[in-house]
Chains A and B, each alone.
Chain A
């Protein structure tokens, strides 16, 4: 993935944006959330999962969303990933209002614009690692040569080229998550949505996965949005968003937050 040219432009914009967290300049935002409310009807009563959220996520940013369960974190996370639609307000993904999309366009967007990484890897068990990675490319209508070429490159990029023809059940958790990351990158998405990607992994493997994500973020300029509790994950984020009670409690840049990680003392 040698898209080094894009990265230079990214860096210039970074400089302009250092002043405020909520800089709604718009143009370089890959996700824009405006006045979003989400209400669920549960047994006749309305549950307000989100009560008016505004946030911009810049292209190439590495952002972490935090919050206790029931805070609306998952709802916001699903919303920016095109998995849920707002009851009120608008969500723009790559300048497209997701509420306006029909089923076909939504599927297209999930296929081409967003890569998903799950806590439990979610590889298709009947397919080999390589087949898992090429599946999104099949959906995208790529020809076989392209699939094989790209699949091999991606497997090399995530460091599991030697396990190409193994089934997920023959791979360790860390290796499975690497396959999942390669699969998420298959169609060069604008956004990678990672839901607790280190949740099922031990400390060391989790760290390797985080470093891999950070490297891909730097090299290819893909935007990474994660929901996480992992301090190591927060440490590499550009910004951290705290959600509480359906609203954004605060947004902080990494530099403004004091996180201790890495050493064993810090882990306690």
Chain B
């Protein structure tokens, strides 16, 4: 983002967290708590897998020359929206728990001079990364499983359109993950630094 990598001469009254550092810290936070991260990411993965499977089955139906009924499409849309909503709520919940778990750590960061937006940045990057990998895996799984049902017509599938939908799924999953992490990240950022002083965990 716009928080430039301060030249050594212009240090005065400047607090910064360069994007590459924020990325590094967020990635560490994921890898050190891999189990929790996997569960958070699994929410996105399942929702996106479902969306991609719907896309793929539609593409297969088109390839088979089967007409898609409007009411079936409506039903699918409804199911996809619901499943994505469930994933978003799941991510928000998981991130809230992870914020509570890291209260002291966040307080410490603030004592060291972190601005509210550093904390927000860290949580959003973390959630965005989880969303990206979750939805990448999810959309691949959804697509491959559905392709098994259309093995006979693989040649006549609109691959360009399908792959573009896969890309869209990954982008959507990442964006939804970031949006879902906004409330927890705001809560973390508002935490007063005094919390770090508390002796008990």
Contact = CB atoms under 8 A, between A and B. Distances in A.
B199 A143 contact: no
Given A83-B194, A196-B199, A124 B111 contact: no
Given A83-B192, A141-B11, A199 B199 contact: yes
Interface residues of B, number: 34
B113 A112 contact: yes
Interface in B1-39: 6, 8, 11, 13-18, 21, 25, 28-29, 32
Contact of A107 (B21, B32, B114): B114
B191 interface: no
A146 B199 CA distance: 33
A119 interface: yes
B26 to A, nearest CB: 10
Given A124-B105, A126-B25, A141-B14, A103 B115 contact: yes
Interface residues of A, number: 35
A116 B114 CA distance: 13
Interface string B150-166: 00000000000000000
Contact of B111 (A110, A123, A143, A187): A110
A139 B112 contact: yes
Contacts of A195: 197
B121 interface: no
B175 interface: no
A111 B197 contact: no
Given A195-B197, A196-B199, A139 B17 contact: yes
Nearest to A83: B194
B108 interface: yes
Contacts of B15: 104, 107-108, 111, 139-141
Given A74-B197, A83-B192, A124-B108, A140 B11 contact: yes
Contacts of A78: 194, 197
A84 B194 contact: yes
Contact of B18 (A107, A135, A138): A138
B113 A111 contact: yes
A140 B113 contact: yes
Contacts of B110: 107, 110
A182 B178 CA distance: 35
Interface string B128-151: 000000000000000000000000
Contacts of A140: 11, 14-15, 113
Contacts of B43: none
A140 B14 CA distance: 7
Interface in B178-201: 192-194, 196-197, 199, 201
B108 A122 contact: yes
B64 to A, nearest CB: 50
Contacts of B28: 126-127
11 contacts: A116-B112, A118-B108, A120-B104, A122-B111, A127-B25, A135-B112, A139-B112, A140-B14, A142-B8, A143-B8, A187-B113
Interface of B: 6, 8, 11, 13-18, 21, 25, 28-29, 32, 104-105, 107-116, 118, 192-194, 196-197, 199, 201
